[in-house]
Amino acid sequence: MIKYENQEQIIIEIKKLMLEKHITQRQLAAALNITPQGFTKLLNKKNFSFSDAKKILDILGYDLFIDMQSE
């Protein structure tokens, strides 16, 4: 389980999962029905959302689980 700290961290974790699964950005873009450039833009957009992460994680075979906890 990964503790969310910021959107950059989520993107880094997604890239790690891509490496583990040996899936390229081009392959993931095709699965999302977007261009490789569109996939890069998706990862780099300022408002990368949990919805964006869920779409990618679904393709990679992972669930996005949100657990709210007080500090």
Q: Is residue 65 part of a domain?
A: no
pLDDT by residue for the chain (71 residues), tens digit each?
667 777 888 889 999 999 999 999 999 999 999 999 999 999 988 888 889 999 999 999 999 887 777 77
* Total of domains in the chain: 1
Q: Is residue 41 part of a domain?
A: yes
Q: Is residue 27 part of a domain?
A: yes
Query: Which residue reads 């780099």 in tokens?
Result: 44
Q: Is residue 28 part of a domain?
A: yes
Domain that holds residue 47: 7-60
Count Cβ atoms below 10 Å from residue 39 Cβ, excluding itself: 20
Q: Is residue 68 part of a domain?
A: no
Q: Is residue 71 part of a domain?
A: no
CB burial class (10 A; 0-12, 13-18, 19+) of residue 10? buried
Contacts of 57 (CB under 8 A, 6+ apart): 14, 17, 63, 64
Q: Give Cα 26 to chain centroid, integer Å.
A: 14
Q: Is residue 35 part of a domain?
A: yes
